[in-house]
Structure 1
Amino acid sequence: MLSQRRSGILLHPTSLPGSQAVGSLGREAYQFIDFLIAAGQSVWQLLPLGPTGFGNCPYSSFSAFAGNPLLINLELLAEAGDLDQIIPQAVPSEFVGADYDTAVKQQLPLLKQASRNFKAGANETRRQAFADFCARQRWWLDDYALFEAIRRDRNFVPWQDWPQPLRQREAAALQQEATRLQEAIFEQQYLQFVFFEQWFALKKYANSKGIYIYGDLPIFVAENSADLWAHREQYLLDDNDRPTVVAGVPPDYFSQTGQRWGNPLYNWEQMATDNYAWWLSRFQWNFSLFDLIRVDHFRGFSACWTIPADQPTAEHGYWVETPGRQLFSTLRDTQGKLPIVAEDLGIITPDVEQLRDQFEFPGMKILQFAFDSDANNPYLPHNHVPNSVIYTGTHDNNTSLGWWNHLEPAARQRIADYLLQEQVQMPWLLVQTALSSVARLAIIPLQDILSLAEEHRMNTPGTAENNWQWRYQSAELTPAIADRLKQASHLYGRNLCNPTEI
């Protein structure tokens, strides 16, 4: 349950500026924290941090626990003594987006070299830190490092296409690969070590300045992931280790065929036999990474839309209840307070609301969804509740200026009438409306703070290309913008909170 009126900014680290081809955990991340402080903010929300595959979507990762090596800052590696020099070309001044292909080509060879340098010449202090990290994280790191080493050695084919002894994780086959690929395994362990070394240093800096880090936990895992390979029995798979059913959402106003996401579904009955140990470990790890976490597709902890894997669309799916109540009760018994925000967007049924409210999880309100119906719309400000998080829009929405530009005149007039404005100035009117809400936490995408149009949106759902690429330029975060946001936050009591509790 949220206890303080706070506000913050939504920005994924890949959107940070800098000399690397995608944003990183380096100097610019610290500068962004300084901007948050200057702007009177106390929360930084980001998207999942895991290693991504095709499409670079942070919600589709090769691991539910690992960090994305492309976010590792090379200058910090040089300062740590793992790199002698930084070779990648500087990002040209006209560069306008995250370039993942260039990042892979430029950064991965340097990261490989850093791993070799570390192995050959790291001082005793860092060697011990590495050994401690590998020992503490063995419960996920060993499987992930081996998975990545085999996957790369076999030209990135999915694990279901590996030889059966490896696919089925026969002990002798795993040992043989672990011996043969020990250099590649060490490299993967090193990459995770330095990623989390940099991440926890950044989080420590943020927390020391009164900034809380708000993370994101996708409910499902990717089919081609270390999690599925290492824990096949906890998913609904056939004899060939392919999903028998997959995740998605049913047909609705937005899609006549629904959405077929394709993620494998959990074998909740099997998970209950060890008291949901994998889930407890996953939540506890995320609680160490973040001060608050948004649980994506929260309704899946009440019931999942279950689609037969042989169906090309979501139309022929069906609801299957899931034991979210038992899981969160067990988690609360072991963890105590649960710093969770429920992503409860879309068509939410009473059972989902009851699950959310039983554990006092804040829900989400989106202002871009507020003005398309009548006074009962739950996203309209007069229907907000204190224990919630208000957004102008999320990473899946258009920017607020882009959204406004697409509205018909009648819709614009309805918004102007509701907000008592003769001259609507978007997107700052929506920003101020979010800050004025009774919702205790207000989160604004940086694109809206910068008054950016549609071409700067982060993601367009249902499309596979040209997403997750937006980056801002350092010069855009001006003192004038910081002052404007600070004054608005102060006006609505959002920068007067107790720094010791969220």
Structure 2
Amino acid sequence: MMLRSSGILMHPTSLPSPHGIGGLGDEAYAFADFLHRTGQRVWQLLPLTPTAETSWNDPYHSVSAFAGNPLLICPSRMAAEGWLDPADVANPPAFPEDSVDFAAVTRHKFALFAKAYARFSPAAHPAYAIFREEQADWLDDYALFVALRGRYGGKPWTAWPDALRDRNPDALARARADLAEDMDFAAFLQWIFHRQWTDLRRHCHGLGIQLFGDMPIYVDHDSADLWRSPQNWKLDENLQPRAMAGVPPDYFSATGQLWESPVYDWDVLRDSGFDWWIRRILRNLDLFDMLRIDHFRGLAAYWEVPAGERTAMNGQWIEAPAEELLEALHARRAALPLVAEDLGVITPDVREIMHRFGLPGMKILLFAFGPDMARNPYIPHNIGPHSVVYTGTHDNNPTLGWFDDEADAATRERLFAYLGLRLPRTDIPWALVRMALLSHANLAIIPTQDLLCLGSEARMNRPGHLKGNWHWRMRPESLTTDIETRLAALTRISGRATPEAGRHKSDACPPPAQRCLPFDGPTG
């Protein structure tokens, strides 16, 4: 049985913090408390994997499909635990309040991390050894990958000496010995991330809030995953991609989107029992209570573009074994709280797979007000319960920006006709928030920008544009009492509020069997 509920989309990097980027510190706990006070059951986040300047600070492009992002580690909490002196974090540099300067933040935080690591003794912390043993399957290679990238000035793994590129056992053994200190530093940061994330998750569970994660379908060519197991991807004899992933022309881009990510060799993955994919999804489900699979349709058929193309227009659809993969997953874990990102070109076979495995899809209100409004699948009266409704996602303009910059006069008139009244432009975001919460969808997710009535200046991502994304930050004190009161009232009248809203939080994390998730598993 699905639970009617709602939540807010807010990536931790966008939270206000004295350290130039939001993370897992007091700002995250304050946001969780805001969710609780307003009756929300879900906090949706973007991927938590490491980001880098070389990949445009994009959380959907990472050097690891398994690691956590060290930039989310809170230095103030490290100081509270004794890893840093209070003076180390007392006077951080002056950072922009409404955007992330990733280069400056990286310099600031890693200088503090180096100080903390200088105080670290593995022998004094048995929990660190346990963590390394439990996560060894991905952590050892990730730590070595990070250390080697440092040694070779950030060059991609395909540009390393041949013996290391090709993972010669003797060369790897020498590198592990030579770079043991650098590997320990990388693993130390993953342990601190794990500790801070686990504490935050426990706090959220004590408030009845589930964490809704996001997993990109693809990984970067320059990643620990491809270096470790290049056979899982379509690479040539020089270990360069033979084809790249993307999508054909659509709402977001007239020439399609070319993602510069290599595509999978599904025959090899099938022969391994989909081992890498299963380990990846189970790792995410150890971090989150629910998981959105980005570009889900790519598991059924994906748009493959030959290497060297400048746009995604000259691609072709290639079938992929979604059903076999999901069956293998269910053999390992019966309950899979997954959500399929099913936007764009979705064919009947994808719908059948979603139905068979009980996977809810997404409905975006910003797509609802075209000429076919009465039959549009995104208009509220056509949205079924087994779905997740959004005003917009991180890939959309915030609602006010959409209304100002993208909706033409006819679209605006259709919106007003559907609302039954004309509204000032500044009231449009909350009109769509109300529409989403009152819809039949069992889960409604609202981007924070729409609560704040922000426009294009607060957009998180522009698909098809590599630069200038992911920088937005919420200013301190933006979530006012008026917003809190308004959201709480609307959540209650729409039947989505937590019955426990306002109760005293518990420090205990309820066991998985007692958690109420919005979605069940497969329908059979």
User: TM-score, normalization: structure 1?
Assistant: 0.96
Q: For residue 79 of structure 1, report the CA deviation from its aligned partner.
A: 1.8
Aligned residue identity for 1:487: A
Task: Please report how far the alpha carbon of residue 410 of structure 1 lies from its aligned counterpart in structure 2 after TM superposition.
Answer: 2.5
Deviation of the 1:142 alpha carbon: 0.3
The Cα offsets for residues 157-184 of structure 1, whole Å up to 9 and x where unpaired, read as: 0000011100000000001111111100
Aligned partners of 1:160, 1:489: CA distance in 2, in Å?
A: 51
Which residue of structure 1 lines up, in the alignment, with residue 104 of structure 2?
A: 102
1:70 equivalent to 2:71? Answer: yes
Q: Which amino acid aligns with 2:516?
A: E
* Residues 366 and 391, structure 2, Cα contact 8 Å, conserved in 1: yes
Give distance in 2, aligned partners of 1:450 and 1:218. 27
Deviation at 1:434, TM superposition (A): 0.3
Is contact 2:97–2:475 with CA below 8 Å preserved after alignment? no
- Contact conserved, 1:362 with 1:388, CA < 8 A, in 2? yes
Equivalent-residue separation in structure 2 for 1:227 and 1:452 (angstroms): 38
CA contact (8 A) 1:4 1:497 kept: no
2:282 is aligned to: 284
SS at 1:444's partner residue?
A: strand
**Residues 24, 35 of structure 1: alpha-carbon distance in 2 compared, 3 angstrom cutoff:** same
**How many angstroms does 1:475 deviate by?**
1.0
Residue 473 of structure 1: CA displacement? 2.0
Instruction: Determine if contact 1:250/1:314 at 8 Å carries over to the other structure.
Output: yes
SS where residue 449 of structure 2 aligns?
Answer: helix
Question: Which amino acid in the other structure matches residue 487 of structure 2?
Answer: L
* Counterpart code for 1:431: V
Higher mean C-alpha deviation, range 251-260 or range 384-393: 251-260
Return the letter of the residue paired with 1:414.
Answer: R
Q: Distance in 2 between matches of 1:193 and 1:206?
A: 20
Distance, in Å, in 2 between the alignment partners of 1:265 and 1:147 is 21
| Residue aligning to 1:56 | 57
1:407-427 deviations in whole A, cap 9, x for unaligned?
A: 233221111111222335211
Corresponding residue number in structure 2 for 1:235? 233
Structure 1 pair 260/336, CA: closer, same or farther in 2 (3 Å)? same
Match of 2:503 in 1: none
- Asked if the contact 1:249–1:314 (Cα under 8 Å) also holds between the matched residues in 2, the reply is yes
State which drifts further: 306-315 or 60-69: 306-315
Q: How far apart are the structure 2 equivalents of 1:87 and 1:378? A: 53
Letter in 1 for 2:362: M
- Structure 2 counterpart of 1:13, one-letter code: P
* Alpha-carbon shift at residue 141 of structure 1 (Å): 0.1
Counterpart position of 2:422: 422
Q: Give SS of 2:119's match.
A: helix
**Could you list the per-position Cα deviations for residues 303-351 of structure 1 after superposition, in whole angstroms to 9, with x for gaps in the alignment?**
0111111322222211111011000011112100110000000111111
Distance (whole Å) between structure 1 residues aligned to residue 253 and residue 59 of structure 2? 23
C-alpha contact (below 8 Å) 1:6/1:497 kept by paired residues: no
1:39–1:93: structure 2 CA closer, same or farther, 3 Å change rule? farther
Give the corresponding residue for 2:158.
160
> Does structure 2 retain, via aligned residues, the 8 Å contact 1:5–1:497?
no
Distance 1:429 1:85, change over 3 A: same
Aligned counterparts of 2:283 and 2:162: Cα–Cα separation in 1: 31
3-state DSSP of counterpart to 1:214: strand
Instruction: Decide whether aligned partners of structure 1 residues 453 and 465 sit closer, same or farther in structure 2, where only a CA change above 3 A counts.
Output: same
- Establish whether residue 436 from structure 1 lines up as the match of residue 409 from structure 2: no
| Deviation, structure 1 residue 98 | 1.3
Structure 1 residue 94: deviation in Å?
6.0
1:108-134 Cα deviation digits (max 9, x unpaired)? 121122112112xx783xx11000000
Is the partner of 2:46 in helix, strand or coil?
coil
Displacement of 1:92: 4.2
Distance 1:257 1:428 in 2: 33
Matched, 1:40 2:42: no
* 1:361 equivalent in structure 2: 359
Distance across 1 between alignment mates of 2:423 and 2:311: 44
| Alpha-carbon distance between aligned partners in 2 of 1:284 and 1:143, rounded to the nearest angstrom | 18
- Match for residue 500 of structure 1 among 496, 511, 515: 515
Structure 2 match to 1:462: 464
Is contact 2:80–2:86 with CA below 8 Å preserved after alignment?
no
Structure 1 residue 93: deviation in Å? 8.1
1:224 alignment partner, SS class: coil
Q: Which moved more, 1:443-452 or 1:251-260?
A: 251-260
1:320 aligns with 2:335: no
* Letter in structure 1 aligned against 2:67: A
State the 1:447 CA deviation. 0.6
Label 1:297 to 1:496 Cα distance change in 2 as closer, same or farther (>3 A): same
Q: CA deviation at 1:497?
A: 6.0
The amino acid across from 1:240 in the alignment is: N
> Which residue number in structure 1 is paired with residue 266 of structure 2?
268
Of 142, 146, 149, which residue of structure 2 is paired with 1:148? 146
**Counterpart Cα distance in 2 of 1:201 and 1:221:** 28
Stretches of 4+ aligned residues off by more than 4 angstroms: 91-94, 496-499
- Which structure 1 segments of 5+ residues have no match? none
Task: State the distance in 1 between where 2:455 and 2:241 align.
Answer: 40
- Relative to structure 1, the CA distance from residue 123 to residue 27 in structure 2 (aligned partners, 3 Å threshold; closer, same or farther) is farther
Q: Indicate conservation of the 8 Å contact 1:75/1:86, yes or no.
A: no
Q: CA deviation at 1:459?
A: 1.2
Which deviates more, 448-457 or 133-142?
A: 448-457
1:482 is matched with 484
> RMSD of aligned C-alpha atoms?
1.6
Matched letter for residue 419 of structure 1? L
Farther off after superposition, 142-151 or 303-312:
303-312
- Per-residue deviation at 1:259? 1.8
- Per-residue deviation, residues 64-115 of structure 1 (Å, max 9, x unmatched): 0001111100111112221124535436486221121111111112112211
Letter of the 2:345 partner, please give it. Answer: I
Could you tell me which amino acid in structure 1 is paired with residue 47 of structure 2?
A: P
Shift of residue 474 of structure 1? 2.6
Q: What SS is found at the alignment partner of 1:468?
A: coil
Cα distance in 1 for residues equivalent to 2:161 and 2:130: 33
Q: Which residue of 2 aligns with 1:351?
A: 349
Alignment-mate amino acid for residue 501 of structure 1: C
Cα distance between partner residues in 2 of 1:462 and 1:258: 8
- 1:392 aligns to 2:391 (yes or no): yes
- In 1, distance between residues paired with 2:157 and 2:319? 29
Check the 8 A contact 1:51/1:63 in 2, yes or no: yes
Contact 2:15 2:474 in 1 (8 A): yes
**Which residue does the alignment assign to 1:452?**
454
Partner of 1:117: 119
Rounded to whole Å, the distance in 1 between the matches of 2:462 and 2:355 is 30
Q: 1:342 aligns with which of 340, 343, 347?
A: 340
Specify which of 178, 183, 194 is matched with residue 192 of structure 2.
194
Which residue is equivalent to 1:80? 81
Alpha-carbon distance in structure 1 between the residues aligned to 2:393 and 2:190:
28
1:263 match: secondary structure = strand
Q: Which moved more, 1:134-143 or 1:302-311?
A: 302-311
Q: Among 74, 87, 90, which residue is 2:92 paired with?
A: 90
Indicate whether 1:248 and 2:246 are aligned: yes
Q: Percent identity between the aligned chains?
A: 45
